Structure 1
Amino acid sequence: MLVTMLSRLLAFVVSLATLVFVVVAFWPQLLGWQRTSPWSVMVAPRGFALSIALLIFIVLAVLGRFGRPLRRILMAVGSWLLVFAVATGVLLYFRGTGSALPSAPTRGATDNIRVLEWNTMGDAPAPAAIAQLAIAQQAQVVALPETTSATAADVASIMANAGFDMQSLTLTYDQVYRAHSTSLLISRSLGTYRVANTGGGTSVSPTVIATSSDGGPTFIAAHVVAPSQVTMSQWTSDLTLLAALCRTPNVILAGDLNATIDNLQGLGTDNLGNCRDAALVTHGAALGTWPTWLPTLGGAAIDHIMATPEWTVTGSLVITSVDGSGSDHRPLLAQLSRTN
């Protein structure tokens, strides 16, 4: 009798602990922990977390068949993991896997803009590969975190030969580590642009802020440091900086934020300051951009294209056709039109 009571008590305690864990792992925003270690990382690859929860559930179910003394405890843990998996699946379903892009804007259009973002992992893809992708997607703006000025210039040159006249803007923190450069290509048809922040702003890798002398939108190519035990304060500071930039009007931001929309919650009235996430708006936020060795549904959506309310997102796409190019990030494409 005593053994049975203790077994039930232990099962209750373990069940309660598992419930608390899965609730916080599923929605750390409930306690404001979405930018707190380890929850900030755990909440990022939701599809991967779903798979792990299902795998553990299956293992516990098998063990429960053969381990009668522990069956009650295993069932308690397994039940909450199954609830976590189902809830995650429902969330991913509603965030969506994307929809078709509208037709590309006509050459020279300024009210409809296609933006391509690709973290090249320190110039890993050849300039020709980057340029060919930008040309194929008819991108008017190309944000390239971890891309040096030399590579960006080569990409711009190749695009120019194909009839895409691009301005090349780069900020570099040092010449030793290629990841400490961020480049931004902007079609000259959108106006004349210059780098407004020579300091770079973000902590480890620079963010390029490009402003126009012709009244066009401010384009931001962003790169936020990855969160870790060492860099949590820098990560939070970088995201806060970008949120502040997104509170200014007429901004289009693209880059590797090393954060999902869950991590960004609480940093503004929209997803980041006043910027709305293109993938979330177009029901494609379930697809991950990193890493390329995981399926899109298993990865983390840490690359983003965002815009303030002056721009309406009409389509977005995670591009998988260049997964073998060398970068561990997938390119992200979005189309935006000026809000009437």
Structure 2
Amino acid sequence: MTTEERPARRDRLTPFHLIGAAALALVAIVYLAGRELGFLARWWLFSGALAFPGFVFAGMLAASLVLTLLALLLRRRRKVALFGTAGVSVGLLVALLVTAVAMPVTVAPDAIPARQDGQLRVLGWNVLQGAEDAASRAALISALQPDIVVLSELYQGNLLRDGEVPPGYMSYGVRGIAVTVLVADDLPRYRVVDADESGHTSGFVLAPEVDGAAPRIVAAHLVALSFRGDSSGRDFGLDWIASHCDSPDTIVAGDLNAVPANMPAGTLGSCRTIGTFAPTWPSMIPPLFGAAIDNVLATSEWDAARVATLDIAGIATDHRPVVADLVRR
């Protein structure tokens, strides 16, 4: 091979670099449309990718930097490939930095101020089938004094022994459904009015024994998106929640295995997300690369005075808890 042939072959690589850069830019645009506009919000694996903006932008940035490095190795017409790939890299770096800056931070439980009069405090926590034992659950509940506690992956809600129910709370659950709800004694008594036992999701609905005396509670732990991209179980659960949000004065809490971007305009029926939580899962990695799949939603009767994702030292479960202080409009 002559020295004249080598640069010519390298020049033929230039269009491939530009095509790669254009493809990354297009994917980033589609992804942003999904995040901000609900575009393809429940479509296949894309719906799962919407939950991990930090991971997605970091991955695309890494690919773009590789293309930029290869462009630097071109000996002729390298400016075309270099400017194209470098421009995409800069755009992806900006997207990653904006994601990091805009993402709420996690806070320690002792940084949450005492609940004020007129507020309803909701605590949601996936305790990983008892990885967080009764003592650790009670310690967090004692520190925060929530009115409503939704514990995902705790199956024994209606079978908890006396020592496992924190003082001042009533426990509710349905056998075989992976959610337990604790309600403070100063709220009215509740009753289970519906439970999804289809196998597509785990959840049940509580209504006050006296209609209108307190909000309805939809407690849920939805099926996760499979690695094959099957979202049917998760989407069934989202639709099940939406059907119960047609009732006024309703609060939804739990591990939804979905982020607001998977819900059109952040709503399910008449319920809407009431704030932006820092990523909750998985708890062992920095929040920037996690997913905010534990959420609280509410109908229009409620606004959020505060929402937070909690950072707990020595956490045993793979989910961080979330807390929301709600106020009536």
TM category (shorter chain) comes to 0.7 to 0.9
How far apart are residue 135 of structure 1 and its match?
1.0
**In structure 1, what is the equivalent of residue 53 of structure 2?**
46
> Any idea what SS the aligned residue of 2:126 has?
coil
How far apart are residue 182 of structure 1 and its match?
1.0
The alignment's C-alpha RMSD in Å is 3.0
Whole-angstrom CA distance in 2 between matches of 1:328 and 1:15 = 36
**In structure 2, what is the equivalent of residue 338 of structure 1?**
328
Whole-angstrom CA distance in 2 between matches of 1:70 and 1:148 = 64
**In structure 2, what is the equivalent of residue 103 of structure 1?**
114
Aligned equivalent of 1:181, options 149, 165, 178: 178
Aligned equivalent of 1:276, options 272, 278, 297: 272
**In structure 1, what is the equivalent of residue 4 of structure 2?**
none
| Residue identity in the other structure for 2:207 | T
Answer yes or no: is 1:302 the counterpart of 2:308: no
**In structure 1, what is the equivalent of residue 304 of structure 2?**
313
> Any idea what SS the aligned residue of 2:122 has?
strand
| Residue identity in the other structure for 1:118 | W
| Residue identity in the other structure for 1:166 | Y
| Residue identity in the other structure for 2:115 | A
Answer yes or no: is 1:138 the counterpart of 2:145: yes
Structure 2, unaligned stretches of length 5 or more? 1-6
**In structure 2, what is the equivalent of residue 90 of structure 1?**
98
Contact 1:112 1:335 in 2 (8 A): yes
**In structure 2, what is the equivalent of residue 26 of structure 1?**
32
Answer yes or no: is 1:169 the counterpart of 2:175: no
**In structure 2, what is the equivalent of residue 176 of structure 1?**
none
Contact 1:98 1:279 in 2 (8 A): no
**In structure 2, what is the equivalent of residue 328 of structure 1?**
318
How far apart are residue 129 of structure 1 and its match?
0.3
| Residue identity in the other structure for 1:140 | D
**In structure 2, what is the equivalent of residue 177 of structure 1?**
none
| Residue identity in the other structure for 1:80 | V
> Any idea what SS the aligned residue of 1:183 has?
strand
1:251-280 CA-to-partner distances (Å, cap 9, x unmatched) read 1111011111111125xxx53222232333
> Any idea what SS the aligned residue of 1:116 has?
strand
Against the structure 1 CA distance between its residues 191 and 43, is the aligned structure 2 distance closer, same or farther, given a 3 Å change threshold?
A: same
Rg larger in structure = 2
Whole-angstrom CA distance in 1 between matches of 2:305 and 2:13 = 56
Contact 2:272 2:297 in 1 (8 A): yes
Aligned equivalent of 2:215, options 214, 217, 224: 217
Q: Which moved more, 1:212-221 or 1:41-50?
A: 41-50
What TM-score results when the alignment is normalised by the length of structure 1?
0.81
Whole-angstrom CA distance in 2 between matches of 1:272 and 1:89 = 30
Report the count of equivalent residues: 315
1:228-247 CA-to-partner distances (Å, cap 9, x unmatched) read 23641121121112122223
Whole-angstrom CA distance in 1 between matches of 2:93 and 2:123 = 32
1:53-80 CA-to-partner distances (Å, cap 9, x unmatched) read 3434444444444454795556534532
What TM-score results when the alignment is normalised by the length of structure 2?
0.83
Contact 1:182 1:205 in 2 (8 A): no
